[in-house]
Amino acid sequence: VVAVVDTGIDYNHPALKENIWVNLAEQNGQPGIDDDGNGYVDDIYGVDFISGKATPLDDEGHGSHVSGTIAGRLPADDFYGVAPRARLMAVKTHNTKGEGSKASVVKGILYAADNGARVLNCSWGGAPEAGEYDQMLFDAIAYANKKGAVLIASAGNEADNNDTGMHFPSNYDLPGIISVASSTSTDTRSYFSNYGSRTVDLAAPGSNIWSVAAGGKSYVYLSGTSMASPHVSGAAALLASTPAGRSMSPAQIRETLMNNVEKLQEWSNRVISGGRLDVSFIGR
């Protein structure tokens, strides 16, 4: 299960609807009742932490695009995500403007961890105000790591060196976070991508990525480290589904993905691993 901690998911889109995580206790339970006792009523597909309702439908588009890259699947359109058999949990923490609060993202991360997500995709982040260190967010991610969930975080789109700046959650020093920069189709750094030889783990494709558009049956090209992170989330889901990966800790998943990148000169001094995501080793 991959939790998409974002603007929600268009769980009616034909390329996503077959891979949406379902809370069976709530689906088969009584309407208006918290059947599974997890504190949320009728959270069949996840929770909207913006409105407080159990309808985490994407009204912005960002979360659906991310979801398509992770686990989209529609043979009729010849569209497949990285892990087309993974399940997508809709954890809506950002509004129609793509803005989220500390409270919404912390609650979302805790919900995902408590409800069985093995991978959390967090295609968002930024510099805290006045250098403030956000202990609540750090603690929530540490909790998710202890529950066995690895968190994939985008490195940011300011073309900055994260070694000398502050970008969170990607910069948190936790073994279960993977920080992702964006690469182009020719394996160069995307012009917008943040980087950091001590703070960013690896690169993944993030320029002109074709994926799901919310609110219909269509697709769209988008660019950003937000588009790079879901490639790594898909890879983490694939790895976690293998016999060896099922017992891996979040730190071991991170280490394994980093140890198997394609080493590239372009990235030798820009990310810790010195390379771009390579999933060809998984399942060998």
What was the pLDDT predicted at 256? 99
Give the count of domains, the chain. 1
Position 283 in a domain: no
List 13, 62, 65, 94, catalytic entry: 62
Tell me how crowded residue 175 is: count the other CB atoms within 10 A of its CB: 14
pLDDT for 39-75, tens place per residue? 999 999 999 999 998 999 999 999 999 999 999 999 9
Q: Which domain does 267 fall in, by range?
A: 2-276
What was the pLDDT predicted at 158? 97
Percent pLDDT > 90 in the chain is: 95
List 183, 226, 229, 233, catalytic entry: 226
Q: For 242-272, b where at least 16 C-beta lie within 10 A, e where not — what string? A: eeebeebebebbbbbbbebbeebebbeebbb
Residue 235 has pLDDT above 70, yes or no: yes
* Distance, CA of 110 to chain centre: 14
Q: Which residue has the higher pLDDT, 54 or 117?
A: 117
Strands 2-6 and 88-92: parallel
- Segment 185-204 mean pLDDT: 99
Residues 170 and 154 sit within 8 Å (Cβ to Cβ): yes
Q: State the Cα–Cα distance between residues 24 and 59, nearest whole angstrom.
A: 25
Strands 275-276 and 262-263: antiparallel
Position 282 in a domain: no
Residues 276 and 187 sit within 8 Å (Cβ to Cβ): yes
Position 33 in a domain: yes
Question: Which residues pair with residue 202 across a beta bridge?
Answer: 180
CATH number for the domain spanning 204: value is 3.40.50.200
Q: Round the average pLDDT of the chain to a whole number and report it.
A: 96
Position 284 in a domain: no
Position 230 in a domain: yes
Q: For this structure, is 94 an active site residue?
A: no
Position 281 in a domain: no
Q: For this structure, is 62 an active site residue?
A: yes
Position 242 in a domain: yes
Q: For this structure, is 6 an active site residue?
A: yes
- Position 50: which residue type? I
pTM summary value: 0.97
Owner of token pair 């949320």: 40
Residue ranges with strand state E in the chain: 2-6, 46-48, 73-74, 79-80, 88-92, 119-122, 150-154, 177-183, 202-205, 209-212, 219-222, 262-263, 275-276
Residues 201 and 273 sit within 8 Å (Cβ to Cβ): yes
pLDDT for 130-185, tens place per residue? 455 689 999 999 999 999 999 999 999 999 999 999 899 999 999 999 999 999 99
